[in-house]
Amino acid sequence: MQDPDPRQNRHPAARSPRGDPRMSESELSAEELTLPIKRTDGDTLEARMTDNAYHNILPARYLRKDSNGELTETQEDLFERVGTNIALAEAVYEAEKRDLEITVTPDQLKPGHPRRDELAAEVFGEGITADDDAETVLTERNVNKFAYDTIVPELPDEVREHVEDVAETFIEGMSELSFMPNSPTLMNAGDELQQLSACFVMSPDDDLSDIHETAKKAAEVFQSGGGVGYGFWQLRPFGDSVGSTGGIASGPITFMRTYDQLCETIAQGGTRRGAQMGIMRVSHPDVIEFIHAKNKDVSLAHTLRLNDPDDYTYTTFSEALEEARSLIDEDGRVPKHLRNAVEGHLSNFNISVGVTDDFMAAVQNGEEFTFTNPRTEEPHIATEETKEMYGRYDLGEHVEVGEPLSIPAELIFERIVEGAHENGEPGVIYLERVNKQHSFDVEAEPDHRILATNPCGEQPLEEHEACNLGHINLSTLADQEAPDWRVWSEQHADEYDTQAEAVDAFLEEAIDYAEFDERIEYGTRFLENVVTMSDFPVEEIEEKVRDMRKIGLGVMGLAQLYIQLGIKYGSDEGNEVARQLMTHINHGAKATSHDLAEERGSFADWEDSKYATPTEYREWFEHQTGEDADDWADGFPIRNHNVTTIAPTGTTSMVGNTTGGCEPIYNVAYYKNVTDDVQGDEMLVEFDDYFLRTLEENGIDVDAVKEEAQEQMATNQFEGVEGLSTVPDAIGELFVITSDLSAKQHAAVQCAAQAGVDSAISKTVNAPNDSTLEDAKEVFEWVYENGGKGVTYYRDGTRSKQVLTTRADNADFADETEAAQALVEQIDEIFGGLEQFLESDEVRDVLEEDVGGLLDDEQVTVDFTEKRERPDALQGVSQRIDTGYGKVYVTINEDPETGQPFELFANIGHSGGFTNSFTEALAKVISTSLRSGVDPEEIVDELCGTRSPKVAWDKGEQIQSIPDAIGTAMRRYLDDEIDKPYPKQQTLEESADADTEVEYDGPQTDGGAAAAQGGANADDDATQDLIDAGESPECPDCGSMSLYFSEGCKTCESCGWSEC
C-alpha cells in the first residue's frame, strides 16, 4: 500500500544530527515536528488501499462470486457496480424535474437475474414475462428492478448526462476512499438481492397472533442478511391475566427465547446468524427478569429446567435457579460438563433497558419507582408470580401481593449497572430522551413513538424503519497547511472567550471545508438514493422506509484526523472538535435534504412533524438545522426526517484505510507472524501505518523504535509508544489507544459527538478490568446528565463468549485446533479420558479395521506398545512457568523405581477455556507417551522451541509458547535445574486432582522477568483478555493475534473478520 502523499506538509521538523536516536529525536517539540497530512493520491485503487483491504477484505466480503465461490468481479469493478446502481435513481427524479416520462420494457430488467420473470410480473403486471412485449413508466417504486447499463444509454441526453455525472461522483468518492456506504450496499447494490439496509425494528403487540407474525417477519429479515431490534415492553407481564383462556401470562422473556431460537436456526444470508436487539422499558414489571436474563446463573437454570422432564413449568424456575447457583463457585466457574449451558440463554440478543426520565429522577432522589402494567397502562398490581420473580433476585421483600409494585429505583439501577460491569449487558437506551429529540412530537403523534433500536444501538427506529448508512472519511480532510493545535493554542487560544470559539477558529484553518462540504452533499444524496434503490424483505418495511426516508450519514477516521491536527483523543479540545464537526455534518446534510425535498418532495407525514412548525419547536429546530425558526415559520421542507448517525464501521473503515467510526485507535504496535506457518519462523513487531509515516517524516530511526518495542514486548514491559525513549513525547502523546482511556473519557467522546447527531451513536465505553462497580455507575449517570442517548459498557476481560459464538452442536470447526478440542471433549465424555480411549478394545478393533482398509491389500502389522500400569503412589514436583498466555503450572510425577518421569499434568487459565483445554490435552498425550516408554529427552526436543505469537521470559529464558513452557519444565527437571522437595507420595486420587489448578507450596522457579513485572501490560492487553476469558486469541480467518472486542463482538483488526 502506498501511504497518502506526504509531499505537502506543515512545520518542517528540525532534523537532529545523526547519532543515538534515543537521545536527539526524542527531544523534538511540537513546534519542530511534521505531522503528515493524509491524502489518497495513488494512481490505482490498489495503491490507495492497504494490501490487506485490497487483496483480502474486498475479495472475501464484497466482490461478486459465482455458485462455486469463484470471483466474478475485480476490486475496481466493485465501486463502479455500486456507484452506477445507486445513481440510477437519478433517472426518475431528473426526468420528473424536466417533466419527462421514461418508458421501460421487460428486456431492460436486470440481465442475468435468476427471477427475471417474477420481476416482469411485479413491474409490468401479472402474467407478463421478461420475454414479452410490454412497457410501463419508470418510477421510484420500480427503478431498482432495472440495470444501469440497460436504462441509462436510452435516456434523453440531458437526463443521461446528469445520471452519468452523479454516478461518476459516487464512484470517485468511494474509489478515493472519501466516502463509504455500509456493507449491505457494497455487497448487494446492483446484484440479485438488492437489499441495501442492514437492520430493522419491528416490535410485537400484546397479541399472540402478532407475536408470531412478527417472528415470521423477523425470519424473512434474517434470511435476507439483516438484523432486527424489538421493543418487548408492550407485552403483558408474567402472572398477568389472559382473558381468552383464564390463565396467566408467561411474560415477554419467554417470547424472547422463542425469537432467540428462531435466530439460531436461520442462517443469515446463508453465511452468518442474525443479530437482534431486545429493549425492555424500565417501567415494565418484568424488567428485573430482563436485567438478569443473560447472567450465568439464569442461563444455566433455563438449561436445567428444559432438560429435566419432571420440571418443565415456569413456576418452578426458582428451584432451577437455586440449583444453578449452587453449581457456580464464587469465582464464576461452573462444572466442566455445564460450561456451554451458561452461555446459551438469549445468546443471539443484545439487550438494553429503556430508561426514562422519571426513573432517573427517582434514582437521584432516592425514591421508589412504581411499575406500569402495559396492558392496563396503570400501576402494576403485584401478583404471587410477581413476588416469586422478584424473590429470585433478592428483592421479594419489597413486593406486597395485591399492592402496586413499587421498589427503590436505586436497587433496580444497581442491578443494571452490575450486569454491565460483570458481563457487558444489559446496555441502556435513554428512551424518553430519544423520543423527546425525535422529529415528531410523540405525545401528539403517538404512532411515531420509538420503541427500540437496531442491534448496535446507533439507530433508534420507528416501527418497520431501516438503517441506511454511510460514512465520511474524516482522516483525509485536514487542510494541507493545517496547524498543530498544541502550537496554535499556545499562540492564539487567549484571543477567545471560550474554548468553543477557539476551536471554531482553529478548524477554519485546519479543515478543508470545501472538500468536507462536497462529501456531505454527495453522501446525503447517495443515501437518499439508497432508499429508492433498495429492496426489502417485508412489505411493511418497504412502505415505511420509502415513506419516511430515514438515513444515517456518519463518519470514520476521527481518531486519525485528531493526530494530524496535534490533538489528543479524549481531551477537552478533541471532544469540542468532535461536537463541531458532527454539527457541521448534521446541518449540511439537512440543507442537502432540504434541497432534495424541493426537487422530490418531503417525506410522508411531514405535515405532522416538527419541521412543519419550526417556531413551535424552536430550540429543537435551530439545534438540528442551524437555521432561524422565524425564517421558516411556514415550514421547512426536508426529504429525510433523520440524516445523521455514527455507526460501527468495522471492515468499511479498513477498506477506507482509516480508524473506525468515532472510536480511538485500537493499537499502535502488535506482533505479527511473518510466515504462513502457524507457529511462525519469525515474529516481528508491526506498527500502525500512519505512526510509521510520522516517524519517517521526522527523521526518526524506525528500526530503532521497532527494536526497543520488541525488547519491551518480550519482557511484558510495553505500555504504548509513549513509553518508548526512541519516540519523541510530542509524537507519542498523540497516538492514544483504547486502553489508554478511562471509561469516562470514552463516554465524553460519545456525548460530545451526540450533540451534532440527530439519531444516536454506536460507541463502546471501554473500562479497564480493575475498574469498580462505582466507576460503572458514575459513567451511566454521567452519560445521562451530559446528553447521551445510551450506554454500551464493556469492562475488559469480562465476557468469555459473545453473541453467535456457541458452537456446541455445530459440526463445522474454525480450525484443526477447535476440531481436536471437540474430539478430546467427546473422548472424555464417552471413555472417561484419552488413556481409556486408547486402551479400549473396541477402539483398537476399529482402528485396525480402518487402517487395513486404507492400505488395501497391504498387510501392515502395527505393534502398539503396552502402557505401564500406574503405581498406587508417585512422587512429584510442580513448577510454575510464565508464558505469554499466563502462568502454566506443570506437575511431573516420577516412577519411584526408575527415577524417570512417569506422567505429567499441566493447566493454565479457566477450566474448559480454549487455552486450558489445549494445555490439558497436550499434557495427557505427554503422559501417555511417557507411560508407553518414549524417551523423555525426545519429548523435550519436540516441545522446546515451538513458537507462538506471544512470548514471555522465565528465569532468564524466553518462553515462546505453552508447549515450549512444558518442554522447558521437563528439561529443567531432567537436568536437575530445580530443587526437588522431599518425595511427596501421591495417591491416584491426589494425582488426578492435579488436573485442577496447582496450589504448590514447595520450591518453584522464580517466575522470570514477566512475573517480576507483574504482567505489566496484561490488564490492558485485549489478547490477554481473550485468553483470560478462555477464548482463542487468534483470528479464525487470517490467524493473526489482533482480535479485540468491538461493539460487543470479537473483531479482527487485521482482516476485518467479526463474529457478529
Q: State the DSSP string of 331-345.
A: TS---GGGTTGGG-T
What does pTM read for this prediction? 0.79
Q: Which of 251, 71, 44, 83 lies closest to 165, judged by CA?
A: 83
pLDDT at 291: 96
Q: Residue 466 has what DSSP assignment?
A: B
- Alpha-carbon distance 743 to 766, whole Å? 5
Q: Residue 814 has what DSSP assignment?
A: S
pLDDT at 1040: 65
C-alpha cell at 981: 522437595
- Alpha-carbon distance 468 to 640, whole Å? 11
- Alpha-carbon distance 694 to 48, whole Å? 18
Query: pLDDT tens across 757-804, in order?
Result: 999 999 989 999 889 999 999 999 999 999 999 999 998 877 643 222
Q: Is 1058 helix (H, G, I), strand (E, B) or coil?
A: strand
> Residues in the chain with pLDDT < 50?
1-25, 268-271, 309-315, 674-682, 800-815, 854-855, 857-860, 911, 982-1020
pLDDT at 836: 67
- Alpha-carbon distance 559 to 661, whole Å? 9
pLDDT at 330: 77
pLDDT at 848: 61
- Alpha-carbon distance 550 to 534, whole Å? 13
List, as one string, the DSSP characters of 349-379: EEEEEE--HHHHHHHHHT-EEE-EETTTTEE
C-alpha cell at 484: 498543530
List, as one string, the DSSP characters of 568-593: -TTSHHHHHHHHHHHHHHHHHHHHHH
Beta strands 886-894; 874-883: pairing state: antiparallel
Q: Residue 612 has what DSSP assignment?
A: G
Secondary-structure percent of the chain, ordered helix, strand, coil, rounded to 5: 45, 15, 40
List, as one string, the DSSP characters of 974-1023: HTT-SPPPSPPEE-HHHHHGGGS-----S-----HHHHHTTSTTSTT-HH
Domain boundaries, the chain: 1-37+668-735, 45-175, 874-1012
pLDDT at 806: 20
Q: What does R_g of the chain's alpha carbons equal in angstroms?
A: 31
Q: Is 726 helix (H, G, I), strand (E, B) or coil?
A: coil
Query: pLDDT tens across 531-585, in order?
Result: 999 999 999 999 999 999 999 999 999 999 999 999 999 999 999 999 999 999 9
